[in-house]
């Protein structure tokens, strides 16, 4: 671990100017650089990885950070190259990005919009980061995306699932690889129909904030399209830790499915409470009572322990994908191998999305031949690629959202080990989860034009 | 001078010089050096935070330091101020002045209402009342008042209130000609404009927004000195000292405490307005009780009831918060690279839990150390240090510390 | 009607947790005059005692199983808990199943010791310091404690199940003439309520009927006088701190199956429990218990759809609204004494 | 018509009749002492005069105006100052600041948002406070932290603070309680000096008969919440009922 690959971009930049002597006043804004914010001038380029390091999502953030470090290693030609070898675009050659060695800085979002923006700002202003990535909440993603748009750097979103990130809050400088609530709903609907039929009555418990609302809206719309009734939509406070008073009335409400639009600690607690109340063993309307958690991560499954068994949800990616569903999902095993060998356990979907985003950025820069955000945006818009573990994928130009297959999973009844908590039920193909750019759930915003800063 | 005593004036000048030269003082290491990466704090965002939180704590100190009323919900005013300013940028235009003014007015009205109710009780009952009001504001801002799909989206919930290309901005433009959001400015000077100065290996950044905040902070600081030295300030200290005697001396304590509460609320609103002016997004988290707690921490860290304490406390807290959280293992390896590999790895393992994701731990330990060993906060630490240098005995410094309720420098 | 009974039960359960934490806080405040912001952290550490006992019981021997492979293609590892190899699979599995109740035995000495260390090492230096300093130093301690836990156990919640026999729920409704499934209640929550009642009862009985308790009560009322009688009140107060820590810790141990423990659960409870203590009246033990149950029940009622339809978002703020109303109408909370913490 | 007229004041606490039909008339420029055994209602009566307690029935007129229903600070502004049993001063403030506060209260009223002037530049107030300190023989202690004063000095300071407001009525609640003999004598001298030099009415509640008889011009004896007798000190000394109810006990003890 003593390989210090750390040379600040400033060293050479300064060195070259130091000869000129003293005071060389310039406005940071204008053309002193190549016309865009933080243009790398030395032989390194700095990326900013802004992940939750404290607070409830710290473990997820740690996994994202591992993926980022791995991606940087691979870009710089160390390690086994991971998904670079399976990636359909072949311009990355392990010499950094366009010959510049990749450096990175890290920061803590604390899963708070304010703190995340402050952290991203310091990366941009102090460390000269030219791209910001990471995060594990939609509020943070939207806030940081807005900042990057204003500052003129690229934002490659990490884990953010709200429709708004590429919907009403989309930005020209921001890109999302992760899927969203609409896609979750569209992917889940056929599976739910197949598993639970078309005559169901759903009761929604929804975390009372932006992401919860968009997911509730998406799932309710998708299940109602199947013919399900929505009995009730109940909002629960974000700060709630004990959901008993929300869970208790469910069974007597006439519902036979409980949809938990909760994430993180909220989901772990509400699911635990629901199982405690014995909902899964009950009968309602002559059917088995079921619980659905539209989005959950490996870490949440771990937190919920055996309560997750049999619970259906959706994921952006799963580490078993290539083994079970064939080489349409090539790249998965390569990534799992290099991640697993370095850290000793398989990567989470958050790690995969962060790794892919870093590679996609590096690739776009290389293809564009410039670090200029506008060139990068152009290179990413409408980019079709494969081999990053999700199958053929499109970065749609209209909203900077990736379109790819969505994995529907179910908690395993008897997990063999602590990494093997979910099983893949189905992979819903891209076509079924694609929606028009102007879909009502995504309307209300505009990409605007790319901002190179300067 | 300026209506200040010589001692106060000297202090004020020192603070002016510090604020003016902060871009130099906070960047002691040459750019690109390994120490610079972490310890240099002279970049716009952090410098702005230093002075903005300085304002916030200066205001809090007028309430807590002088009257002894411990508000545990002061972050609510910061949040309210932030939202007000962003609304001004959305509706009116991007000049920061209307935003800042509105944030002060709205925070003042909030403080008047909350203070009027809360000041009916004292001690911990007062603290819990303010806490309750602030938590209510936070919870409502996060959920009910921030639903984008409702007609009454005041706060935009989790994401925070942000500028949109579709905002009216009746006195300005909704979008710039190239299709982006306009930036906050002070009569044409963009808040994010900076002037960079290179001196050899050193790079110094002079940011317009920082200097605006700095000037406002100096004005706030000046007003706070005047308040401390005024009859009003003395009355506030008298409230803290003996309310019974106040009442039987023909003085009505309620308007005094309420005035102090409103003044400190306006300060907090101003700080919120400035935060939004520097970065036009207002998140609900800045109203959370931990944010209020942080204000208390900064005040006590610096030295309650002292003039300079709030600035020191705010600086200390913000600095360590920002610096510690950004140190990761590769940075540590870089610092310790000169050591033999074994020792280097060992030291990195030791330090690792205290930096990066462990920054809370270090900050918690620092709080404890300061509170345990410096009951008067950093100001007392400075005095003891000064005492040691000038050869005064520690005892006299301690004796002085006992009187720390006096407004000291 | 069934909804009301149901939410009343929920409220009792929420209230048990609030009351237990508030009881410990009040013990510390009433005896030592210290506002202990680290009390939530003690609750959290209690919950992690349960986690730790579960971890210890599931410590395993690891052998490689060549017939299976793990995710990297290496031979899979089969782990067998030591307790299963020592006590046989059935007994071992039972021990693991009962790890939470077992943890009580371990938690008591650990929490008492932790309480002693905290009081002797830190808190006692703060008796004469302003309340704000006490709050700050204990708040710092709370951060340190939770970060230490985070460093060892991570930020993710750790599932800690109740014994098999207490899983699932009981149908109360049928018992009192409602439709099936109208009023269901999990067994473990009933256990928790009963446990809380026993602890609260034990603390009151201890203070009421033992000489030690009498001295402590006298000390709570008038510390100086009792000190003048030549009774070493300090040592007794140290012990009270240990007891308060144990109460918080036990509340945490038993809470672990209700919600998977995580490192910040103490902070989640901290503000609420302070509101409870103040609503109950600073320094009043019955007040703390009463307020704990009152707020728990009101919180449960506020989360009913019927109530939320009238007051949107009321469940977000009910605790604070009630706290404000009570503090304004009853200046010293429900049962507070005059002059305590009013300066 | 006295400066303070107490008419038919009754006050009950639960089942206890603390004050029963108290009638009292304090003549202007007199020193009037109220004495009585413990629990006689002296403090309750005093608290009714200054607005801390509200009598159940009856009236309290100061200079013809009712004080009932007014807050303590309003009553003080009418011209009534109170000295407490244990000196109530602003312990965190310096002696000079302590003295300045009543001067501000006298000049600026019960509230002034006088936040931008330097208090030490307010010549009028500072001079007045300094003058008062000199009168109290405390000028050399003006920069001391008032909490560190001796008990006797605290008492002097408190009295000085009250006097600096130029009250028309000064209420003293056991001003020498807990004092050493020397301090008590000093306080008596101080009060005598005030009585002789100032245009003021003094009401003193006192246990110490030495103090009462050295100062008072009239004495009211209170027992079980009711005035037993009111007269001049000489008459009181010889009054059989008083001896029986009160003084006898004291002498025996």
Average per-residue pLDDT for chain C: 87
C77 — pLDDT class (breaks 50, 70, 90): confident
- D191 and D112, same structural domain? no
Q: Where residue A399 falls among pLDDT bands split at 50, 70, 90?
A: very high
Q: For residue range C281-320, list pLDDT tens digits in order.
A: 888 889 999 999 999 999 999 988 888 888 888 888 999 9
State which residues form the domain around D148: 92-166
Q: Specify the pLDDT at position B192.
A: 86
Residue of A nearest to B48 (CA): A118
Please measure the distance between the N-terminal and C-terminal CA atoms of chain D and give it in whole angstroms: 38
Statement: residue A446 has pLDDT above 80 = yes
Confidence of residue A14 (pLDDT cuts 50, 70, 90): very low
Q: What percent of chain D has pLDDT over 70?
A: 96
Mean pLDDT over residues B41-58, rounded? 94
Q: What is residue D152's predicted lDDT score, i.e. its pLDDT?
A: 86
A134 - beta bridge partners?
A157
CA pair distance C291, A6, nearest whole angstrom: 57
Local structure of C323: helix, strand or coil: helix
How far is the CA of D66 from the CAs of A138, A371, A406, D50, D60, in angstroms? 66, 84, 83, 11, 6
| Tokens at B207, concatenated | 């940011």
CA distance C292 to chain B (A): 16
As a whole number, mean pLDDT of residues D20-46 equals: 89
Confidence of residue A391 (pLDDT cuts 50, 70, 90): very high
Contacts of A149 in chain B (CB under 8 A): 180-181
Q: What mean pLDDT, rounded, does chain A reach? A: 88
> Cβ contacts of residue B77 below 8 Å, gap of 6+?
B107, B110, B111, B264, B265, B266, B268, B269, B272
Mean pLDDT of B87-113: 96
HSE-CB at A401 with a 13 A cutoff on CA atoms is 31
pLDDT value at residue B206: 92
What distance lies between CA A262 and its chain's CA centroid? 16
Contact A200, A170 (CB under 8 A): no
**Residue C227 contacts residue C13 (beta carbons within 8 Å):** no
pLDDT at residue B402 tops 80: no
Mark yes or no for CB contact B353/C151 under 8 Å.
Answer: yes
> Is the predicted pLDDT of residue A19 greater than 70, yes or no?
no
Q: Which chains have 3 or more CB–CB distances shorter than 8 Å to chain B?
A: A, C, D
Report the distance separating Cα D172 and Cα D203, nearest Å: 6
Q: What is the DSSP letter of A419?
A: T
Neighbours of chain D (3+ CB pairs under 8 A): B
CB neighbour list of residue B255: distance below 8 Å, 6 or more residues apart: D111
- pLDDT for position C342: 63
Q: 3-class SS at C27? A: helix
Across the interface, do C184 and A278 touch by the CB < 8 Å criterion?
Answer: yes
- pLDDT of the residue at B246: 94
- pTM for the model stands at 0.91
How many domains is chain D built from?
A: 2
Say whether pLDDT at B173 is over 70.
yes
- Give the whole-number percent of chain A exceeding pLDDT 70: 92
Distance CA B56, CA B61 (A): 9
Instruction: Determine, yes or no, domain membership for D121.
Output: yes
Instruction: Based on the fold, state whether residues D143 and D69 are members of the same structural domain.
Output: no
The answer to which of A265-269, A380-384, B252-256 has the lowest mean pLDDT is: A265-269
Of the pLDDT bands very low, low, confident and very high (cuts 50, 70, 90), residue C113 is very high
Are chains D and C in contact at 3+ CB pairs closer than 8 Å?
no
In this structure, are D142 and D252 located in the same domain? no
Q: How many beta-carbon contacts under 8 Å exist across B and D?
A: 120
Q: What is the arithmetic mean of pLDDT over C45-70?
A: 86
pLDDT, tens digit, 9 for 90 and up, residues C27-38 = 888 878 888 999
Task: Give the pLDDT confidence of D208-232 residue by residue, as tens digits.
Answer: 888 888 889 999 988 888 888 888 8
Instruction: Please state which of the ranges A167-171, A417-421, C284-288, D5-9 shows the lowest mean pLDDT.
Output: A417-421
Residue B319 contacts residue B41 (beta carbons within 8 Å): yes
Task: Give the three-state DSSP class for C207.
Answer: helix
- What the block records as the tokens of D74 is 């309003």
Does residue D86 sit within a domain? no
The distance of B224 to chain C (nearest Cα, Å) reads 22
Q: Is the pLDDT of residue A20 over 70?
A: no
The pLDDT tens digits for B5-40 are 899 999 999 999 999 999 999 988 887 777 777 788
| Yes or no, beta carbons of B250 and D93 under 8 Å apart | no
Residue B152 has pLDDT above 90, yes or no: no
Indicate if D184 and D247 belong to the same structural domain: yes
pLDDT tens by residue, B275-323: 999 999 998 999 999 999 999 999 999 999 899 999 999 999 999 988 8
- Residue B355's pLDDT is 85
Are the beta carbons of B191 and B183 closer than 8 angstroms? yes
Q: What is the DSSP letter of A163?
A: G
Which tens digits make up the pLDDT trace of C180-189?
778 888 999 9
| Angstrom distance (rounded) from CA D156 to CA A352 | 79
Minimal Cβ distance to C133: which of B129, B353, B375: B375
The predicted-structure confidence for C3-21, as pLDDT tens digits, reads as follows 888 899 889 988 999 999 9
pLDDT computed for residue D36 by the predictor: 84
Please state which of the ranges A261-265, B209-213, C335-339, D176-180 shows the lowest mean pLDDT. Answer: C335-339
Q: Which residues of C touch A242 (CB under 8 A)?
A: 13-14, 17, 258-259
More confident residue, C339 or B209: B209
Chain C residue with minimal CA distance to A56?
Answer: C155
Chain D residues touching residue B403 (CB < 8 angstroms)? 145
Question: pLDDT band for position C341 (50/70/90)?
Answer: low
Please answer yes or no on whether D111 and B3 come within 8 Å at the CB atom.
no
Phi/psi of residue A323, nearest 5 degrees: -60, -40
**Inter-residue contact A20 to A437 (CB < 8 Å):** no
Tens of pLDDT along A128-174? 899 999 988 898 999 999 999 989 999 999 999 999 999 989 999 99
Q: Which of residues 35 through 74 in chain A touch B, CB cutoff 8 A? A: 53-54, 58, 61-62
Whole-angstrom distance, CA of residue A338 vs CA of residue A235: 42
Q: What is the pLDDT of residue D83?
A: 92
Nearest CA in chain C to A251: C181
CB contact under 8 A, A277 and C159: no
Domain final residue, candidates D104, D134, D166: D166
CATH topology of domain C2-57+100-329: ABC transporter involved in vitamin B12 uptake, BtuC (1.10.3470)
- Which CATH number belongs to the domain containing residue D63 in this structure? 3.40.50.300
Specify the 3-state DSSP secondary structure of C302.
helix
Q: What is the DSSP letter of A197?
A: -
Each residue's pLDDT tens digit, A60-69: 999 999 999 9
- D74 has pLDDT over 50: yes
Q: Are residues D124 and D161 in the same domain?
A: yes
List the one residue out of C290, C331, B334, B108 whose CA is nearest residue A4: B334
The conformation of residue A55, written as its DSSP 8-state character, comes to S
- Residue D84, domain member (yes or no): no
The complex scores an ipTM of 0.90
In the prediction, which pLDDT does B52 show?
A: 97
Q: Residue A15 pLDDT more than 80?
A: no
Residues C105 and C90: beta-carbon distance below 8 Å: no
The H or E element spanning position C287 is helix C285-302
The pLDDT value given to residue C168: 83
Q: What local confidence, expressed as pLDDT, does residue A196 receive?
A: 94
In angstroms, what CA-CA distances link C18 with A323, C14, C28, C32, C275?
Answer: 49, 6, 16, 21, 10
Which of the residues C144, C263, C267, C311 would you substitute to probe the B interface, choosing the one with the greatest number of B C-beta atoms within 10 Å? C144
pLDDT at A31: 36
Write down the mean pLDDT value for chain B. Answer: 88
Domain boundary among D101, D134, D166: D166
Q: In this predicted model, what pLDDT tens digit does every residue of D106-164 receive, in sequence order? A: 999 999 888 888 888 889 999 999 999 999 989 999 999 999 998 888 999 999 999 99
Question: Where exactly are the structural domains of chain B?
Answer: 48-307
- Cβ neighbour number for residue C220 with a 10 Å cutoff: 24
- The whole-angstrom separation of Cα D210 and Cα D250 is 12
Q: Which domains does chain A have, with CATH numbers?
A: 10-179+328-404 (3.40.50.2300), 182-315+407-433 (3.40.50.2300)
Phi, psi angle pair for C148, to nearest 5°: -65, -45
Least confident of A120-124, A209-213, B136-140, C300-304: A209-213
User: Which of B129, B131, B364 is nearest residue C271 as measured by Cβ atoms?
Assistant: B131
- According to DSSP H, which parts of C122-186 are helical? 131-153, 172-175
Cα–Cα distance between B393 and B397 in angstroms, integer?
A: 7
Q: What pLDDT shows up at residue A16?
A: 34
Q: How confident is the model over A296-325, as pLDDT tens digits?
A: 988 899 999 889 999 999 999 999 999 999
- Decide which of D119, D135, D166 is a domain's last residue: D166
- What is the arithmetic mean of pLDDT over D160-176? 92
Q: Are strands B161-162 and A422-428 parallel, antiparallel or unpaired?
A: unpaired
Q: What integer pLDDT is reported at residue B358 of this predicted model?
A: 86
Which pLDDT value is given to residue A240?
84
């Amino acid at each position: 671990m003593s390989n210090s690959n750390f040379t600040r971009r400033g060293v050479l930049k300064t060195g070259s100017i130091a000869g000129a002597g003293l005071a060389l006043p310039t406005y940071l804004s204008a053309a002193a650089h190549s016309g865009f914010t933080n243009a790398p001038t030395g032989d390194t380029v700095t990326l900013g990885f802004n992940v939750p390091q404290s607070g409830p999502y710290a473990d997820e953030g740690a996994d994202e950070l591992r993926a980022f470090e791995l991606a940087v290693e691979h870009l710089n030609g160390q390690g086994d190259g991971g998904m670079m070898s399976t990636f359909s675009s072949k311009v990355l050659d392990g010499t950094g990005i366009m010959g510049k060695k990749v450096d990175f800085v890290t920061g803590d979002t604390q899963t708070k919009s304010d703190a995340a923006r402050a952290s991203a700002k310091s990366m941009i202003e102090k460390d000269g980061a030219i791209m910001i990535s990471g995060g594990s909440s939609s509020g943070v993603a939207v806030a940081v995306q807005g900042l990057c748009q204003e500052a003129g750097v690229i934002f490659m979103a990490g884990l953010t699932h709200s429709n708004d990130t590429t919907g009403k809050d989309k930005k020209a400088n921001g890109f999302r690889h992760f899927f969203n609530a609409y896609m979750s709903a569209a992917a889940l609907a056929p599976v739910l129909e197949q598993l639970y039929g078309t005559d169901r009555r759903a009761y929604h418990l929804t975390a009372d904030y932006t992401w919860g609302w968009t997911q509730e809206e998406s799932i309710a719309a998708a299940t109602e399209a199947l013919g399900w009734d929505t009995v009730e939509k109940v909002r629960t406070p974000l700060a709630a830790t004990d959901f008993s008073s929300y869970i208790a009335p469910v069974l007597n409400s006439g519902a036979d499915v409980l949809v938990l639009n909760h994430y993180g600690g909220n989901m772990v607690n509400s699911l635990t409470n629901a199982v405690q109340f014995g909902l899964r063993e009950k009968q309602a309307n002559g059917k088995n009572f079921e619980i659905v958690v539209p989005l959950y991560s490996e870490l949440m499954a771990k937190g919920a322990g055996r309560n997750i068994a049999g619970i259906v949800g959706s994921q952006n990616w799963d580490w078993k994908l290539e083994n079970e569903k064939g080489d349409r999902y090539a790249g998965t095993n390569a990534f799992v191998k290099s991640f697993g060998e370095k850290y000793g356990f398989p990567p989470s979907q958050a790690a995969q999305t962060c790794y892919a985003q870093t590679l996609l950025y590096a690739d776009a820069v290389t293809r564009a031949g410039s670090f200029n955000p506008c060139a990068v945006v152009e290179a990413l818009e409408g980019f079709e690629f494969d081999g990053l573990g999700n199958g053929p994928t499109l970065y749609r130009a209209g909203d900077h959202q990736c379109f790819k297959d969505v994995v529907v999973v179910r908690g395993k009844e008897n997990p063999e080990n602590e990494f093997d908590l979910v099983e893949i039920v189905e992979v819903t193909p891209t076509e079924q989860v694609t929606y028009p750019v102007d879909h009502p759930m995504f309307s209300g915003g505009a990409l605007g034009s790319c901002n190179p800063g300067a | 001078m300026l209506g200040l005593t010589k001692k106060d004036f000297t202090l004020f000048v020192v603070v002016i010089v510090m604020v003016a030269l902060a871009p130099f003082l906070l960047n002691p290491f040459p750019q690109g050096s390994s120490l610079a990466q972490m310890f240099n704090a002279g970049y716009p965002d952090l410098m702005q935070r230093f002075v903005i939180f300085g304002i916030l704590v200066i205001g809090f100190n007028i309430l807590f330091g002088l009257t002894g009323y411990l508000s545990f919900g002061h972050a609510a005013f910061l949040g309210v101020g932030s939202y007000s300013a962003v609304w001004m940028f959305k509706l009116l235009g991007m000049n920061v002045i209307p935003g800042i003014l509105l944030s002060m007015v709205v925070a003042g009205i909030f403080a008047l209402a909350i203070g009027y109710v809360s000041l009916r009780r004292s001690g911990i009952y007062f603290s819990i009342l303010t806490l309750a009001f602030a938590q209510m504001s936070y919870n409502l801002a996060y959920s009910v008042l921030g639903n984008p799909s409702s007609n009454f989206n005041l706060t935009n919930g989790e994401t925070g209130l942000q500028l949109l290309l579709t905002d009216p901005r009746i006195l300005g433009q909704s979008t710039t000609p190239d299709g982006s959001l306009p930036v906050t400015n002070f009569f044409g000077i963009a808040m994010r404009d900076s002037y960079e100065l290179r001196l050899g290996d050193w790079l110094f950044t002079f940011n317009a927004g920082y200097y605006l905040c700095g000037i406002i902070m100096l004005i706030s600081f000046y007003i706070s000195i005047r308040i401390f030295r005024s009859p009003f300030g003395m009355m506030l200290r008298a409230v803290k000292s003996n309310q019974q005697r106040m009442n039987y001396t023909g003085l009505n304590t309620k308007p005094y405490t309420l005035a102090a509460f409103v003044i400190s609320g306006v300060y907090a609103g101003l700080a919120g307005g400035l935060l939004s002016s520097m970065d036009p997004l207002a998140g609900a988290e800045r109203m959370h009780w931990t944010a209020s707690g942080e204000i208390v921490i900064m005040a006590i860290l610096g030295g309650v009831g002292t003039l300079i304490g709030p600035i020191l406390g705010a600086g200390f807290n913000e600095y360590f918060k920002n610096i510690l959280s950004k140190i990761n293992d590769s940075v540590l390896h870089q610092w310790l690279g000169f050591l033999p590999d074994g020792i280097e790895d060992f030291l990195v393992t030791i330090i690792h839990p205290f930096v990066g994701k462990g920054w809370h731990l270090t900050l918690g330990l620092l709080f404890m150390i300061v509170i345990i060993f410096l009951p008067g906060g950093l100001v007392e630490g400075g005095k003891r240090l000064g005492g040691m240098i000038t050869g005064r005995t520690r005892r006299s410094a301690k004796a002085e510390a006992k009187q720390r309720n006096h407004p000291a420098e | 009607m069934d909804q009301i009974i149901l939410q009343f039960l929920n409220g009792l359960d929420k209230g048990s947790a609030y009351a237990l934490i508030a009881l410990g806080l009040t013990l510390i405040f009433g005896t030592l005059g210290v506002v202990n912001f680290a009390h939530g952290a003690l609750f959290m550490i209690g919950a992690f005692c349960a986690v730790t006992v579960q971890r210890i019981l599931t410590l395993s021997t690891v052998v490689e199983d060549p017939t299976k492979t793990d995710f990297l293609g290496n031979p899979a590892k089969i782990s067998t808990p030591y307790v299963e190899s020592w006590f046989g699979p059935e007994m071992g599995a039972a021990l693991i199943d009962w790890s939470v109740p077992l943890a009580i035995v371990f938690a008591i000495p650990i929490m008492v010791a932790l309480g002693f260390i905290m009081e002797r090492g830190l808190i006692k230096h703060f008796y004469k310091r302003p309340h704000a300093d006490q709050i700050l130093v204990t708040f710092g301690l709370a951060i340190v404690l939770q970060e230490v836990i985070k460093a060892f156990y991570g930020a993710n919640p750790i599932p800690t199940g109740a014994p098999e026999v207490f899983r699932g729920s009981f149908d109360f409704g049928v018992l009192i003439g409602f439709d099936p499934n109208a009023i269901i209640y999990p067994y473990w929550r009933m256990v928790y309520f009963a446990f809380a009642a026993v602890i609260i009862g034990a603390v009151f009985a201890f203070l009421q009927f033992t000489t030690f308790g009498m001295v402590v009560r006298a000390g709570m009322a008038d510390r100086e006088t009792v000190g003048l009688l030549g009774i070493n009140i300090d040592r007794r107060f140290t012990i009270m701190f240990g007891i308060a820590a144990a109460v918080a810790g036990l509340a945490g141990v038993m809470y672990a199956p209700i919600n998977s423990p995580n490192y910040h659960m103490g902070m989640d409870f901290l503000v609420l429990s302070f509101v409870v203590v103040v609503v109950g009246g600073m320094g009043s033990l019955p007040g703390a218990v009463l307020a704990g149950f009152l707020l728990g029940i009101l919180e449960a009622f506020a989360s009913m759809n019927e109530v939320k339809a009238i007051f949107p978002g009321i469940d977000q703020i009910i605790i604070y609204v009630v706290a404000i109303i009570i503090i304004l109408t009853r200046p010293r909370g429900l049962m507070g004494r005059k002059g305590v913490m009013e300066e | 018509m006295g400066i303070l007229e107490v008419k038919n004041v009754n006050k009950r606490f639960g089942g206890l009749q603390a004050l029963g039909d108290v009638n009292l008339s304090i003549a202007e420029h007199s020193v009037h002492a109220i004495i009585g055994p413990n629990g006689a209602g002296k403090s309750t009566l005093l608290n009714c005069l200054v607005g801390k307690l509200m009598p159940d029935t009856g009236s309290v007129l100061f200079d013809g105006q009712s004080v009932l229903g007014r807050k303590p600070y309003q009553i003080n502004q009418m011209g009534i100052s109170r000295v407490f049993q244990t000196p109530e001063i602003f312990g965190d403030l310096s002696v000079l600041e302590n003295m300045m506060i009543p001067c501000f209260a006298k000049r600026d009223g019960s509230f002034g948002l006088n936040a931008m002037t330097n208090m030490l530049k307010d010549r009028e107030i500072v001079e007045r406070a300094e003058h008062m300190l000199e009168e109290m023989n405390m000028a050399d202690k003006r920069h001391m932290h008032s909490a560190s004063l001796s008990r006797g000095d605290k008492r002097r300071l408190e009295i000085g603070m009250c006097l600096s407001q130029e009250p028309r009525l000064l209420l003293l609640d056991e001003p020498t309680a807990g004092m050493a003999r020397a301090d008590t004598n000093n306080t008596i001298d101080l009060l005598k000096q005030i009585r002789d030099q100032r245009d003021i009415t003094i009401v003193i509640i006192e246990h110490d008969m030495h103090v009462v008889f050295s100062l008072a011009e009239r004495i009211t004896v209170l027992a079980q919440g009711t005035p037993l007798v009111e007269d001049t000190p000489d008459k009181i000394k010889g009054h059989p009922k008083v001896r029986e109810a009160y003084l006898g006990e004291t002498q025996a003890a």
